[in-house]
Amino acid sequence: MSSDESDEENVIRYGTPLDPFEEDEVPSKRKFQQQPDQYAVDEHGRRRFHGAFTGGFSAGYGNTVGTPEGWAPSSFKSSRSEKAQISNQRPEDFMDEEDRSEYGIAPRNLQTKSEFSGQKRTHQGFHDGPIPGEPVLGQLLRAVHETAAVKMLRKMGWKEGQGVGGRLTRSDKKRAKDQHKVYGCYMPPEMRQENKEESEESTDSEFEYETLFAPDDYEPYILQRKNDRFGLGYKGLSRHSVLGNLVGEYGDAGNSRSHLVMKEKGKKVSIRGQAFGVGAFEADDDDVYATHDMSHYDFEIGGATEKTEKKKAQDKSSNVLEGFVKASKPLPSIPNYPPPALPRDFVPAPAGVRRSRFDVTEAPQRDQGLGRHELTAEARGALLGETPLPETKEHIPETQTQETNLSKILGKSIDFVTQNTLKDKEKDTDFISIKDTGKDINVFKPFVSDPKKQARYEQYLKDKESGKESDRITGDTEREGDRLSEWERNREMIEFEQAAKLYRPLSGIMGDRFTHASEPDEGALNPLTAVAKSSINYGLATPEQIEAAKIGAYGTITRKETKWRPEALVCKRFNVPEIGERSEPKKDVKSKISYSIFSYMESSVHDKESFTKEQSKFSGSKSLNVDKQNKIDKPVEVKTQVTKPVSTEMNTGPNKRMTVAELFMKESEKDLQTKNKETEVVQTIEKFDRMDLYKSIFLSDSENEEINEETPSTDYKDFIDKPKNVERNTSPPRGIFANIDFDELNSWKRHSENKTSNTNDKSDQKTTDELSKINDNSKEKLDTTDRVQKLGADDSILPEAVYGPKIPENLQKRLEEMPENNFKPVFRRKDERDLDESSSSDSWVEAKVKTKKEKKKKSKKHKSKKKSKHKKKDR
Amino acid sequence: MVEQLSNIVTIKCKQQVVRAVRFNVDGSYCLTCGADKKIKLWNPHNQLLLKTYGGHANEVLDAAGSCDSSHIISCSSDKSVILWDVTTGQPVRRYRGHASSVTCVKFNEESTMAVSGSVDNTVSFWDVVSRRQEPVQILKDAKDTITSIQVTDHEVLTSSVDCHMRLYDMRVGKMFSDYIGHIITYASMTHDGQCYVLSCADNTIKLFDKDSGELLNTFSGHECKDFLLENSVNEKDSHIISGSATGEIFYWDLVSSSCTQKLVHGKRPVVSLSHHPTDNYLLTASEDEVVLWGVPKMEE
- Which homologous superfamily does the CATH classification assign to the domain defined by B6-294? YVTN repeat-like/Quinoprotein amine dehydrogenase (2.130.10.10)
Chain A residues with CB-CB distance to B161 below 8 A = 534, 537
The average pLDDT across B94-104 equals 91
Sorted by where each begins, the domain ranges of chain A are 162-196+208-216, 395-509, 535-580, 636-874
Q: Report d(CA B82, CA B128) in Å as an integer.
A: 10
Provide the pLDDT for residue A696.
58
Chain B residues with CB-CB distance to A552 below 8 A = 215
Tens digit of each residue's pLDDT (9 = 90 or more) over B111-157 = 889 999 999 889 999 998 888 888 999 988 888 889 999 999 889 99
At A243, the pLDDT band (50, 70, 90 cuts) reads low
Closest listed residue to residue A706, CA positions, set A774, A764, A757, A765: A774
Between residues A58 and A591, which one has the greater pLDDT? A58
Sequential DSSP letters for A799-860: GGG--SSPPPHHHHHHHHHSSSSSSHHHHHHHHHHHSSS--HHHHHHHHHHHHHHHHHHHHH
Chain A residues with CB-CB distance to B175 below 8 A = 561-564
Between residues A279 and A593, which one has the greater pLDDT? A279
| Contact at CB, B113 and A573, closer than 8 angstroms | yes
The average pLDDT across A747-774 equals 49
Q: Closest to B154 (Cβ–Cβ): which among A537, A576, A580?
A: A576
Q: Which of A25, A28, A533, A569 to mutate to test the interface with B (most CBs of B within 10 A)?
A: A569
Closest listed residue to residue B119, CA positions, set B59, B151, B77: B77
Helix H or strand E encompassing B149 = strand B146-151
Strands, E, within A635-767: which ranges?
none
CA distances from A774 to A697, A714, A742 (A): 12, 18, 18
Q: Measured between CB atoms, does A574 come within 8 Å of chain B?
A: yes
Provide the pLDDT for residue A395.
46
Q: Report d(CA A157, CA A143) in Å as an integer.
A: 22
Q: Report d(CA B183, CA B199) in Å as an integer.
A: 8
Q: Which amino acid is at A796?
A: S
Q: Report d(CA A655, CA A665) in Å as an integer.
A: 20
Closest listed residue to residue B10, CA positions, set B285, B242, B291, B255: B291
Task: Name the closest residue on chain B to residue A578, using Cα atoms.
Answer: B171
Between residues B220 and A755, which one has the greater pLDDT? B220
Q: Which amino acid is at A608?
A: K
Across the strands, what pairs with B199?
B186, B205
At B188, the pLDDT band (50, 70, 90 cuts) reads very high
Q: Report d(CA B84, CA B60) in Å as an integer.
A: 13
- Identify whether the C-beta of residue A656 lies closer than 8 Å to the C-beta of residue A783: no
Size of interface A-B (CB pairs under 8 A): 161
Between residues A700 and A25, which one has the greater pLDDT? A25
Between residues A293 and A612, which one has the greater pLDDT? A293
- What burial class does residue A268 get, using C-beta atoms within 10 Å of its C-beta: 0-12 exposed, 13-18 middle, 19+ buried? middle
- Identify whether the C-beta of residue A821 lies closer than 8 Å to the C-beta of residue A756: no
| Contact at CB, A22 and B131, closer than 8 angstroms | yes
Q: Report d(CA A460, CA A497) in Å as an integer.
A: 9
Q: Which amino acid is at A572?
A: K
Closest listed residue to residue B290, CA positions, set B3, B37, B25, B49: B49
Q: b/e for A366-383, b at 16 or more Cβ within 10 A?
A: eeeeeeeeeeeeeeeeee
- Identify whether the C-beta of residue B89 lies closer than 8 Å to the C-beta of residue B51: yes
At A349, the pLDDT band (50, 70, 90 cuts) reads confident
User: Other C-beta atoms within 10 Å of A328: how many?
Assistant: 7
- Return the DSSP state at A146: P
Between residues B106 and A687, which one has the greater pLDDT? B106
- Identify whether the C-beta of residue A788 lies closer than 8 Å to the C-beta of residue A795: no
Q: Report d(CA A632, CA B157) in Å as an integer.
A: 64
Q: Measured between CB atoms, does B57 come within 8 Å of chain A?
A: no
Helix H or strand E encompassing A560 = strand A559-563
**Residue A127, phi-psi category: left (phi > 0), alpha (psi -120 to 50), beta (remainder):** beta
Q: Which amino acid is at A162?
A: Q
Q: Report d(CA A159, CA A773) in Å as an integer.
A: 123
| Contact at CB, B176 and A539, closer than 8 angstroms | no
User: Other C-beta atoms within 10 Å of A719: how many?
Assistant: 21
Chain A residues with CB-CB distance to B129 below 8 A = 573
Provide the pLDDT for residue B32.
92
Chain A residues with CB-CB distance to B183 below 8 A = 533-535
β pairing state of B289-294 and A269-271: unpaired
Chain B residues with CB-CB distance to A563 below 8 A = 173-175
Between residues B234 and A645, which one has the greater pLDDT? B234
Provide the pLDDT for residue A605.
44
- The number of residues making up chain A comes to 875
Query: Cα distance from B170 to chain A (closest Cα, Å)?
Result: 6
| Contact at CB, A558 and B101, closer than 8 angstroms | no
Q: Measured between CB atoms, does A570 come within 8 Å of chain B?
A: yes
Q: Measured between CB atoms, does A27 come within 8 Å of chain B?
A: no
Which residues touch B222 (CB under 8 Å, ≥6 apart)? Answer: B203, B205, B229, B242, B243, B244, B245, B246, B248, B250
Between residues B166 and A463, which one has the greater pLDDT? B166
Q: Measured between CB atoms, does A547 come within 8 Å of chain B?
A: no
Helix A824-834, helix A677-688: angle, nearest 10: 130
Closest listed residue to residue B240, CA positions, set B287, B178, B186: B186
At A494, the pLDDT band (50, 70, 90 cuts) reads confident
The average pLDDT across A651-672 equals 54
Q: Which amino acid is at A533?
A: K
Tens digit of each residue's pLDDT (9 = 90 or more) over A19-45 = 777 666 666 666 666 666 667 777 777
Q: Report d(CA A289, CA B5) in Å as an integer.
A: 117
pLDDT of A443 > 60? The answer is: no
At B76, the pLDDT band (50, 70, 90 cuts) reads very high
| Contact at CB, B181 and A26, closer than 8 angstroms | no
Q: Which of residues 501-530 of A touch B (CB under 8 A)?
A: 523-525, 527, 530
Quote ipTM for the complex.
0.89
pLDDT of A642 > 80? The answer is: no
Which range in A156-160, A361-365, A504-508 is most confidently predicted, on average pLDDT?
A156-160
Closest listed residue to residue B169, CA positions, set B190, B188, B193: B193
β pairing state of B81-85 and B91-95: antiparallel
Q: Measured between CB atoms, does A546 come within 8 Å of chain B?
A: yes
Which range in A89-93, A535-539, A587-591, B259-263 is most confidently predicted, on average pLDDT?
B259-263
Between residues A250 and B103, which one has the greater pLDDT? B103
For the sheet containing B164-169, what is the strand order? A559-563, B174-179, B164-169, B155-160, B146-151
Q: Which amino acid is at A312?
A: K
Task: Name the closest residue on chain B to residue A539, using Cα atoms.
Answer: B162
Q: How far does CA A801 lie from the centroid of its chain?
A: 46
pLDDT of B203 > 80? The answer is: yes
- Identify whether the C-beta of residue A645 lies closer than 8 Å to the C-beta of residue A723: yes
Residue ranges in A387-534 assigned as alpha helix (H): 395-410, 416-421, 424-427, 451-466, 470-479, 486-502, 506-509
The average pLDDT across A308-336 equals 65
pLDDT of B179 > 70? The answer is: yes
Which range in A171-180, A384-393, B243-252 is most confidently predicted, on average pLDDT?
B243-252
User: Other C-beta atoms within 10 Å of A23: how many?
Assistant: 13
Q: How far does CA A570 lie from the centroid of its chain?
A: 45
Provide the pLDDT for residue B85.
92
- Return the DSSP state at A155: H
Q: Which amino acid is at A448?
A: V
Q: Report d(CA A430, CA A424) in Å as an integer.
A: 10
* Percentage of the residues of chain A whose pLDDT score is greater than 70: 26
Closest listed residue to residue B144, CA positions, set A550, A531, A566: A531
Between residues B81 and A636, which one has the greater pLDDT? B81
Task: Name the closest residue on chain B to residue A577, using Cα atoms.
Answer: B171
- Identify whether the C-beta of residue A601 lies closer than 8 Å to the C-beta of residue A739: no
Chain B residues with CB-CB distance to A533 below 8 A = 183, 201, 226
Rg, chain B, Cα only: 18
Q: Closest to A23 (Cβ–Cβ): which among B113, B133, B169?
A: B133
The average pLDDT across B83-94 equals 91
Provide the pLDDT for residue B193.
86
Average pLDDT over chain B, rounded to whole?
Answer: 89
Q: Report d(CA A815, CA A155) in Å as an integer.
A: 87
Between residues A217 and A421, which one has the greater pLDDT? A217
Helix H or strand E encompassing A84 = helix A83-87
pLDDT of B104 > 90? The answer is: yes
Provide the pLDDT for residue A689.
54
SS (H, E, C) A327-387: CCCCCCCCCCCCCCCCCCCCCCCCCCCCCCCCCCCCCCCCCCCCCHHHCCHHHHHHHHCCC
Q: Report d(CA B149, CA B159) in Å as an integer.
A: 7
Q: Report d(CA A545, CA A537) in Å as an integer.
A: 13
Give SS3 for A437: coil
- Return the DSSP state at A261: E
The average pLDDT across A115-143 equals 63
| Contact at CB, B175 and A562, closer than 8 angstroms | yes
Tens digit of each residue's pLDDT (9 = 90 or more) over A826-871 = 444 444 444 444 444 444 544 444 444 444 444 444 444 444 444 4
- What burial class does residue A322 get, using C-beta atoms within 10 Å of its C-beta: 0-12 exposed, 13-18 middle, 19+ buried? exposed
Q: Report d(CA A136, CA A107) in Å as an integer.
A: 24
Question: ∠B35-B37-B43 over CA atoms, to 5°?
Answer: 85
Between residues A290 and B79, which one has the greater pLDDT? B79
Task: Name the closest residue on chain A to residue B207, using Cα atoms.
Answer: A554
Give SS3 for B60: strand
The average pLDDT across A242-254 equals 48
pLDDT of A101 > 60? The answer is: yes
Q: Closest to A539 (Cβ–Cβ): which among B94, B143, B215?
A: B143
- Identify whether the C-beta of residue A256 lies closer than 8 Å to the C-beta of residue A295: no
